[in-house]
Amino acid sequence: MSQPPESPREPAANLVEVRGVRYSAGPRQIFDGLDLAVRRGSITAVMGPSGTGKTTLLRLLTGQVFPTAGSVQVFGQDVGSLSKRELFALRKRMGMLFQNGALLTDLNVYENVAFPVREHARLPEPVLRRLVLMKLEAVGLRGAERLMPQELSGGMARRVALARAIVMDPEVLIYDEPFVGLDPVSMGIIVRLIRRLNDALGITSIVVSHDVQEVGSIADYSYLLDGGHVVAGGTTAELNASADPVVRQFMQGSSEGPVSFHYPAQDYLKSMLDGADVAVRR
């Protein structure tokens, strides 16, 4: 596995380091020795089949859950050892684009974008207005400031959510499945925005997605998760050239390969017979 590319601004500087992480949800083990790093200033993609813990990884990075073993470090801080006050301060340095946009339905576009600033800062209204309009301009929606969420298309709503995610000028921007449910044109717009905002704002982007072609076109480095750990990491070209069966199946979108369609279960015939036996006893 190659190493993530060094940032031209701060060589060898990792903004995120996940080392030997183990995590379980009830009896189900999600991570079993997860290791990865995110270079400052890069776009890092985290990919993998459904159910491999991609969104759980984001919850670990933001301190919503904590590992049972190993460490998660963000900005050089061990997330699991932070106090509540320190954790809130850490989160203020992050922006998040949720999978469904998560706009507040009773607020218009302007107020949705302004919401984090009103919660965490006290800016004079004229300054706040210039800030909000600047972020809406960055995503191409300055003229939509008075629209309500229900008046927006899926692509527009995702862009408003992106404007809200960057309004506090975060150092790291996290995208949770940003392409889900978008038409090809809207998807192309979001792809270009991710790359443009990352470079223009000098931030670090973490993109969780299973859309191989879209995220692969902009990622500086990608990780592929499966079986509770990283099975491959590298540039898009390196992953496409991999001979590993899991990597090839995922990158090619094939139904044939080691990644199973079925959730683990006991033998099918035994399950059916056990069920019949229960029905007879009733």
Q: What pTM, to 2 d.p., does this model score?
A: 0.81
In a domain, 57, yes or no: yes
Q: How far apart are the first and last CA of the chain?
A: 56
Domain hosting 32: range is 1-83+211-282
C-alpha–C-alpha distance, residues 148 and 108, integer Å? 4
Q: Is 150 contained in some domain?
A: no
Whether residue 253 is contained in a domain is answered as yes
33-84 pLDDT, tens per residue? 999 999 999 999 998 877 788 889 999 999 999 999 999 999 999 999 999 9
Question: Using CA atoms, how far apart are residues 38 and 90, in angstroms rounded to an integer?
Answer: 16
Q: Report if residue 263 sits inside a domain.
A: yes
Is the residue at 93 inside a domain?
Answer: no
**Tally of structural domains, the chain:** 1
Q: What amino acid is encoded at 125 in this protein?
A: E
Q: What is the pLDDT along the chain (282 residues), one digit of tens a residue?
A: 555 554 444 444 889 999 999 999 888 889 999 999 999 999 999 988 777 888 899 999 999 999 999 999 999 999 999 999 999 999 989 998 887 778 889 999 999 999 999 988 888 999 999 999 999 998 888 889 999 999 998 888 988 999 999 999 899 999 988 887 778 888 888 888 889 889 888 899 999 987 888 888 899 999 999 888 898 889 888 888 888 877 888 777 665 655 554 455 666 677 767 755 545 455
Domain membership flag for residue 77: yes
In whole angstroms, give the CA distance from residue 134 to residue 205: 20
3-state secondary structure the chain: CCCCCCCCCCCCCEEEEEEEEEEEECCEEEEEEEEEEEECCCEEEEECCCCCCHHHHHHHHCCCCCCCEEEEEECCEEHHHCCHHHHHHHHCCEEEECCCCCCCCCCCHHHHHHHHHHHHCCCCHHHHHHHHHHHHHHCCCHHHCCCCHHHCCHHHHHHHHHHHHHCCCCCEEEEECCCCCCCHHHHHHHHHHHHHHHHHHCCEEEEECCCHHHHHCCCCEEEEEECCEEEEEECHHHHHCCCCHHHHHHHHCCCCCCCCCCCCCCCHHHHHHHHHHHHHHC
Q: Which contacts qualify for 182-191: CB closer than 8 Å, 24 or more apart?
A: 182/154, 182/155, 182/158, 183/154, 183/155, 185/155, 186/153, 186/154, 186/155, 186/158, 187/155, 187/211, 187/214, 189/140, 189/155, 189/159, 190/155, 190/158, 190/159, 190/162, 191/215, 191/217, 191/218
- The count of residues in the chain is 282
Answer whether residue 152 is part of any domain. no
In a domain, 111, yes or no: no
CATH label of the domain that carries residue 225:
3.40.50.300
